[in-house]
Amino acid sequence: MKLKFTKMHGAGNDFIVIDATAAPIELSPAQWQRLADRRFGIGADQILVVQQPATEGCDFKYRIFNNDGSEVEQCGNGARAFVKFVTEKGLTSKSSIRVETMKGIIAPRLEADGSITVDMGAPRLDPAEVPFDAAGLAGWAEGDDTTWPLPVKTGGSSKTVFISVVSMGNPHAVQVVDNVDTAPVAETGPLIEHHPRFPARVNAGFMQVVERHHIRLRVHERGAGETLACGTGACAAVVAGIRRGLLDSPVRVSARGGELSIAWAGPGQPVFLSGPAVTVFEGEVEV
């Protein structure tokens, strides 16, 4: 069947966006992966599928598939592309919408100046919710359970990285590094993503603190590899940095693909993510 799509990105994190509001689209993980493949398909970090909501009070539902075909709970940069997409396609005339995702409801808002802010909901900080298997580590952490030792085996030797675990609906393991440009993202990102202590795998963040209101960030994403920006990764890094006493809200997050801004008032409060969303081209593909 022929499938219309829109290619978009948020700070270089790129997406295939599909309007399935008229009729749901069901593909296998292998078919989603093929669409996202950068050689055999269109190519994207994630695929966003816009559907009718199933929850009262929501305007839309949207499903998120990683480059590897896995369906996931949340996508911060995708939420901004989403609100631009439904506005440009005339699927809504609202500037603030409520969107049902696999794990909760988010509220993206198109501002008068064209920028987009997303209420990403409150972070989950209980390791069991991330999920992170902290058994055997109970009680071991700096401060208030803000960091955990993670033994990572590289090339026959083992080293311990100290991570903070945060869920934005999707799981994140964030570590502080001196310089993101020299951080071992390619080497240890996949090892952390597939670490046995993360039963659902995990996104691995590498955060450099520039000053209390500014970080540089690289993220090896679960199911996609390193991306040029990760919205939920930026949220998780700022939450982890504030909890560790390293940052003060709001925080400017410099990713390789662009700038994001995060605000968080503390535990139990929502995280607000602001940043760009760009439409690149429209297309049609045979699936």
Ligand X SMILES: N[C@H](CCC[C@H](N)C(=O)O)C(=O)O
Tell whether 245 is in a known binding site.
no
231 part of the interface to ligand X, by CB under 6 A: yes
Instruction: Confirm or deny that 160 is annotated as ligand binding.
Output: no
Residues 184-223 that bind ligand X (CB under 6 A): 203, 221-223
221 is in an annotated binding site: yes
Among 6, 33, 51, 66, indicate the residue that binds ligand X (CB under 6 A): 66
In the complex, the smallest distance separating the C-beta of residue 222 from ligand X, rounded to whole angstroms, is 3
Among 16, 17, 47, 75, binds ligand X (CB under 6 A): 75
Q: Which stretch binds ligand X (CB under 6 A): 1-9, 20-28, 230-238, 243-251?
A: 230-238
Q: Are residues 275 and 9 in contact, defined by beta-carbon separation less than 8 angstroms? A: no
Find the binder of ligand X among 6, 33, 51, 77 (CB under 6 A).
77
Whether the bond into 131 is cis, omega within 30 of 0: yes
Q: Is 131 helix (H, G, I), strand (E, B) or coil?
A: coil
- Where in 15-54 is the site for ligand X (CB under 6 A)? 45-46
The answer to whether the beta carbons of residues 47 and 32 sit under 8 Å apart is yes
* Amino acid of residue 83: V
168/73 Cα distance (integer angstroms)? 9
Instruction: Classify strands 251-255 and 214-221 as parallel, antiparallel or unpaired.
Output: parallel
Task: Quickly count: other Cβ atoms within 10 Å of residue 25's Cβ.
Answer: 17
DSSP β-ladder status, 271-275 and 116-119: antiparallel
Residue 167 near ligand X by CB under 6 A? no
Catalytic residues: 75, 230
Contact set with ligand X (CB under 6 A): 13, 45-46, 66, 72, 75-78, 170, 203, 221-224, 227, 230-233
